[in-house]
Amino acid sequence: MSISVAMTVNGKAVSGKVEARTLLVQFLREHLGMTGTHVGCDTSQCGACVVDVDGKSVKSCTILAVQAEGSKVITIEGLAESPDKLHPMQEAFRENHALQCGFCTPGMVMSAIDMVKRHNYQLDEATVRRELEGNLCRCTGYHNIVKAILAAAPAMKSAGV
């Protein structure tokens, strides 16, 4: 069954025809060609597909595209101000070498930004580690990811993002 779906992705109105069973991540990647959001496990465990839907961090492999009808979606592609100016969280990941193969990184960055905002820019290491329970890094590079998130929290606050 073909259904029309319309939403806002990274501030831009988008629409398309999908099947009822089309996942949001498939809509983003295959219909819109936005392949920054990754599919890791496809079982809502690894968090590589995390995006922001109406201000809430969600796993885009476990929400239908039609369920996001009319929503405001933000993906990894929507974070940087310009190709030269990364979001403070992306910058912190770069500075702290918070990635190895990079596959989990889009989801890590999206979850990390949500985490910082929910904790009002104040995080400690134990909180960051607990809050990352929905994101898996199979290179097991968590140490630098935690460092990056702790560094990004004050940077996001001073940048007002």
Binding site for other proteins (CB under 8 A): 1, 3, 19-21, 23, 42-45, 47, 50, 56-59, 62-64, 66-67, 69, 111, 114-115, 118, 131, 133-135
Tell me which DSSP letter residue 56 carries: E
Closer of 36 and 86 to other proteins (Cβ): 36
- The least CB distance from residue 96 to other proteins, in Å, is 21
CB closer to other proteins out of 55 and 94: 55
Residue in the structure block whose two tokens are 């939403």: 7
Beta carbons within 8 Å of 120's beta carbon, 6+ residues apart? none
Residue 120: CB atoms within 10 A of its CB come to 9
Least CB distance from residue 20 to other proteins, whole Å?
Answer: 4
Smallest separation, CB 50 to other proteins (Å): 6
Q: 103 CB contacts (<8 Å, ≥6 apart)?
A: 38, 40, 48, 138
φ, ψ of residue 75 in degrees (nearest 5): -115, 175
Give me the least distance between CB of 57 and other proteins, in Å please.
5
Least distance (Å) from other proteins to the CB of residue 119?
11
Whether the CA torsion 37, 156, 132, 102 is positive or negative: it is: positive
For residues 64 and 137, which CB has a smaller minimum distance to other proteins in the complex? 64
Is beta strand 72-74 parallel, antiparallel or unpaired with respect to 56-59? unpaired
Nearer to other proteins, 44 or 95 (CB): 44
In the complex with other proteins, the residue whose CB is nearer, 64 or 149, is 64
